[in-house]
Chain A
């Protein structure tokens, strides 16, 4: 069974450009999470979805960030316009449930904004 799939694996862009990160969760998982990881702040939850509906987006840093989940097998995280401080590794994860269920992470997208 395929794990969580993310693309691209690496993204280098210039400040001000739009960046779109993509994620395909594990089939049958009802929850999808977007995280950001930096050395300074560790792993931060940005937003999560349940059955394609955003449940908690309190971790989204600002209006430049938006996330969608148009169907059960696809989600995007968009940054527009991008800034150098957005440079980080962005992980997508999915799980069957919340309490007591483990999360499975994708390989991450390493974003560099110059």
Chain B
């Protein structure tokens, strides 16, 4: 089983739709969580950190479910510019050293 798993998609949604992605992780001792966005042929960029209590940034909401070991990203009122690959990142302590484990990403296409 992969340490971090995401549905690769693509998710094709119309403008204005609400879309949600999940990401599961295997290490129950994982400590911090992030969502990154990667545009085609560009570097990953931080979208938002994921806090235990859940957090919101404009149209984006991130949540953490430690019991079920997954994090989620909700995008409301999708824009064409939201089309990208969304990477889930988990920061885990593995044998005394911290590692950032990236999921393989979920592709989102917002259609006009």
List chain A positions with a Cβ less than 8 A from chain B: 33, 35, 42-43, 45, 55-56, 91, 98-100, 102-108
User: Is B32 a contact of A99 with CB atoms below 8 Å?
Assistant: yes
A46 to B44, CA, bound (A): 16
CB distance from A17 to the nearest CB of B (A): 24
Of the residues B34, B91, B100, contact of A33 by C-beta under 8 Å: B100
A105 to B87, CA, bound (A): 13
Given A42-B102, A43-B102, is A55 in contact with B44 using a C-beta cutoff of 8 Å?
no
B17 CB within 8 Å of chain A: no
User: Is A100 a contact of B43 with CB atoms below 8 Å?
Assistant: no
Other CB < 8 Å A-B pairs besides A91-B44, A105-B44, 16 of them?
A42-B102, A43-B87, A43-B104, A45-B99, A45-B101, A55-B97, A56-B97, A98-B91, A100-B31, A100-B49, A102-B49, A103-B46, A103-B100, A105-B45, A107-B43, A108-B43
User: Is B87 a contact of A99 with CB atoms below 8 Å?
Assistant: no
